[in-house]
Amino acid sequence: MFFRRAGISHTRYQQERQLWPLPIDRLTVLAVLAFLIAAPFILDRLYIVSYLLPLIIWSSAALGLNLLMGGAGQIHLGYGAVIGIGAYTAVHMMRAGIPFELAMIGGGLAAGAIGIVFGASALRIKGLYLAMATLAMQYIVDFVIVQFPAISGGSQASLQVPPVSFLGFPIQGDRTPYYVALFICAMITLFMLNVRRTSFGRALVAIREKDYAASIIGVDPFRYKLLAFWVSSFVGGLMGAVLATCYYRAISPDQFHLDLSIQLVAMVIVGGLGSVLGVFFGVSLILFAPILLNQTIALVADTTGLTLPMDLRAHLPLMLYGGLIMGFLLLEPLGLAKIYSNIRNYFLVWPFRHSRQ
Amino acid sequence: MDVILLAELAINGVFVGLMYALLAAGIVLIYKTSGIANLAQGALAMTGAYVVVMLAGGLGLSMWLAIPLAMAVMFLVGALIERVALRRMIGQPVIMVIMLTIGLEIFLRGLLPGLFGASVKRLDLGIPNAPLFLGDLLLSRALLIGGGVSLALIVLAILFFNSRLGVIMRAVSDNQTASWSVGIRVERAIAIAWGLSATMATTSGVLWGATQGVDWSLSLLLIKALAIAILGGLDSMVGVLIAGVLVGLAESMATGILDPIVGGGTRDVVASVIIVLTLLLRPHGLFGREHIERV
């Protein structure tokens, strides 16, 4: 009904190889894009600043992590630290008078450089040990940021982002930051969609499935793992800069703790490892589920008079994250993306049962 | 730097290290049997301490009844986690299994403070607060007792691997399929390993709860236990003992000597530095078996 592929027959390879081969998909993408561009004019300011903007920024950051975890099969428990490195580098560069566009790239490069040092341990170790190495990275970066006043401006202090502009538009008010974040998110999404169709993306998939099998067919696991770490850290650092400039406006060390890393990992797993669309689903669920839950509890409390103790309410988001991670891993390891694609495949030829997928 | 202070730091460090090592022993036990690193070990220690507090404070049991009861409960909890969650993940990539234990850690860290209150709970073992004087040295009784108990339990765990059940577990860790073919019930061995590991986590949670109170921060012990398990080699019990002492010493020395220079906070980063250095220089640890992959 919604996803009919009936009557669509491609006559050239280029048509089959498009990003979105079905017209209905192209229409959906255009509609979503049009909605996102028009959103600041039709939605209330509150929805833009506190729902859509974080959704866009965290999705872009999670896309970087997804390339590493879903694309190359490497685990990373210190992605929050990577984002922190990018944010601090960029803010310091902007405070020194360097324009935002360059500071953003600088943040990405710094995060990539430091990320690759810890990723270098991925050359010798994998799986389990890599998890520990990146976990240690999170703690070490936290320590360095807090302990060196030159970086953090003191452990309690927060660094203000000076007024900057992006391609001539000053980043202030509510709309410009939103459009800047949307533009960068669109760029990263396009990159991630296309990277799977390049030799680099296919090499990563080969390494994900079995690294020594990949090396037998001529893919150098050493080089590509390091490259995956670099690209993913670069995206993380870039988004750190965007996060600081467009959303936080002032950064402090506690914004980039282990909790953030775990939240990002939860987003990627819940969304579905390796799926670009899934990342957006996962980020929405992880960001909005606690809010929805709290509102439901408030509603229940209002109507029935049942109230939950404060401690329980305060810890519900943690329980929710943990439960979601465990539940998805046990019941649907490919995440929301798989659920979506099951539904989609069902409707592709609906009402006929036999599917061509 | 005077000698007395150094000696005090060293002795305290050794005992603190032994207490960390008790938690690491649980990680090693699970890794040895099933090849999984349990990142929820810190949360299990916290859970155990909460159960003791609940039994002693909530139901009014005496501490010496509450602790064995909590250990029994936690054995069941550990075995249940294995049965419900981990067993279904057999055959999945290692990244998935690690993520599952992280999910468990986050879940427990929300569940217990949520149910029993987030404020710090007192867990009184009846150890006097007054320090012990040994010549000029000032030693904390809680640390001495905690370290002693941990040492005894780790030695017991080392000896355990020579018992019938321990031999079964060593066989399972060597080759699961081969153990199966000679009639060993592999799933049961792994479930028992989880139960025992949760029990050890409980003791460690109680010992730490007695020194710093019971709240969610007990789960932060995970990173130190991981450092010990990795430095000692993930599949070596003896390694845990020695690495525990080393990590405890390093941490205590860093706190005593480096903190005045850099202005505090080194305590938490020592474990991470040890993890990174071990992984870079000798990934299989001091006593671990080197894992050779055949292509």
Q: What tens digit of pLDDT does each residue of A120-167 get? A: 765 666 667 888 888 888 988 888 888 777 777 765 677 777 777 777
Res B43: pLDDT: 93
Quick check: is B288 in a domain?
no
pLDDT at B216: 85
Across the interface, which of B85, B109, B279 has its CB nearest the CB of A132?
B279
In a domain, A313, yes or no: no
Q: Is residue A208 part of a domain?
A: yes
Residues near A300 by beta carbon (within 8 Å), at least 6 away in sequence:
A306
Q: Which residue has the higher pLDDT, B127 or B186?
A: B186
Mean pLDDT for the stretch of residues A253-270: 88
Shortest Cα distance, chain A CAs vs residue B128, angstroms: 32
Optimal mutation site among B276, B292, B293, interface A, most CBs of chain A within 10 A: B276
Helical segments of chain A, H only: 13-16, 23-42, 45-47, 53-66, 79-95, 100-119, 128-147, 149-152, 175-195, 199-209, 211-216, 221-242, 258-271, 276-304, 310-331, 335-348
With 80 as the cut, is the pLDDT of residue A356 above it? no
Residue B291 lies inside a defined structural domain of this protein: no
Tell whether the model's pLDDT for residue B294 goes beyond 50. Answer: no
Asked if pLDDT for residue B126 goes beyond 80, the answer is no
Is residue A342 a part of any domain in this protein? no
Interface test with A, best of B50, B106, B109, B274 (most A CBs within 10 A): B106
Percent of the residues in chain B that have a pLDDT greater than 70, as a whole number: 97
Closest residue in B to A208 (Cα–Cα): B93
In a domain, B295, yes or no: no
Q: What is the mean pLDDT of residues B14-26?
A: 92
Q: Say whether pLDDT at B164 is over 60.
A: yes
Q: Using the beta-carbon criterion (under 8 Å), do B283 and A73 form an inter-chain contact?
A: no
Q: What is the mean pLDDT of residues B100-121?
A: 88
Identity of the amino acid at A221 = P
Cα distance between residue B78 and residue B22, in whole Å: 16
Supply the pLDDT for residue A2. 60
* CA–CA separation, A314 and A324 (whole Å): 17
- Confidence grade of residue A11 (pLDDT, cut at 50, 70, 90): confident
Q: Is the pLDDT reported for residue B293 higher than 60?
A: no
Asked if residue A77 is part of any domain, the answer here is yes
The per-residue pLDDT for B210 is 87
The DSSP result for B117-133, as a single string, is: -SSPBP------SSPEE
Question: Is residue A170 classed as helix, strand or coil in its secondary structure?
Answer: strand
- Rg (Cα) of chain B, in Å, rounded? 19
pLDDT of residue A124: 66
Whether residue B122 lies inside any domain: the answer is yes
Write out residues 103-162 of B within 8 Å (CB-CB) of A.
Answer: 103-111, 113-115, 117-118
CA atoms of B202 and B59, how far apart (whole Å):
18
pLDDT for res B295: 42
Q: What is the pLDDT of residue A126?
A: 64
Q: How many domains does chain A have?
A: 1
Average pLDDT along chain A: 85
> Shortest CA distance to A356 belongs to which of A8, A2, A76, A111?
A8
What average pLDDT does the segment A338-357 reach? 74
Distance CA A218, CA B52 (A): 57
Whether A160 and A250 have beta carbons less than 8 Å apart is answered as: yes
Structural domain contains residue B254 = yes
Average pLDDT over residues A36-41: 87
With CB atoms and an 8 Å threshold, state whether B102 touches A129. no
Q: Scanning every residue of chain A, which has its alpha carbon at the shortest distance from the alpha carbon of B81?
A: A326
CB A256 within 8 A of CB A84: yes
- pLDDT tens-digit profile of B280-292? 888 788 887 776 5
Which structural domain range is residue A182 located in? Answer: 20-256
The answer to whether residue B293 is domain-embedded is no
DSSP lists the bridge partners of residue B121 as: B214
CA of A318, closest CA in chain B: separation in Å? 5
Q: Is the pLDDT of residue A20 over 90?
A: no
What is the interface pTM, i.e. ipTM, of the complex?
0.85
DSSP state of A166: E
Q: Assess B99–A contact: CB distance below 8 Å, yes or no.
A: yes
Return the pLDDT at B202. Answer: 93
Is A132 touching B (CB cutoff 8 A)? Answer: yes
Structure tokens at A221: 């696991």
Answer whether residue A14 is part of any domain. no
| Mean pLDDT, rounded, for B1-19 | 85
Is residue B294 a part of any domain in this protein? no
Roughly what angle, to the nearest 10 degrees, separates helices B186-212 and B41-53? 60
Question: Do B152 and B235 meet the contact criterion of CB atoms below 8 Å apart?
Answer: no
Question: Can you tell me the mean pLDDT for B120-140?
Answer: 75
| Cα A254 to Cα B121: distance, rounded to the nearest angstrom | 26
Predicted confidence band of residue A188 (pLDDT cuts 50, 70, 90):
very high
Residue B287 lies in a domain: no
Residue B130: pLDDT over 80 = no
In angstroms, the CA A144 to CA A253 distance is 10
Residue A34: inside a domain, yes or no? yes
Phi/psi-derived region of residue A249, left when phi > 0, alpha when psi is between -120 and 50, beta in every other case? left
Kindly report which listed range (A103-112, B38-47, B56-65) carries the lowest average pLDDT score. B56-65
| Nearest C-alpha neighbor of A108 from the set A209, A273, A232 | A232
Residue B89 belongs to a domain with what CATH number?
1.10.3470
Cα A322 to Cα A311: distance, rounded to the nearest angstrom:
17
Contact B274, B250 (CB under 8 A): yes
Q: Is the preceding peptide bond at A351 cis, omega within 30 degrees of 0?
A: yes
Asked whether A237 and A109 are in contact (CB, 8 A), the reply is yes
Range with the poorest average pLDDT among A5-19, B18-32, B71-85:
A5-19
Per-residue pLDDT at A241 exceeds 80: yes
Range of the domain at B224: 3-281
Q: Which residues of A touch B266 (CB under 8 A)?
A: 143
Do β-strands A165-166 and A169-170 pair in parallel, antiparallel, or remain unpaired? antiparallel
Q: Give the pair of three-digit tokens for residue A197.
A: 């169709």
- Provide the shortest C-alpha distance from residue B274 to chain A (in Å): 9
What is the mean pLDDT of the segment spanning A338-348? 84
Specify if A285 maps to a domain. Answer: no
Residue B292: per-residue pLDDT: 55
Tokens of B232: 């000692």
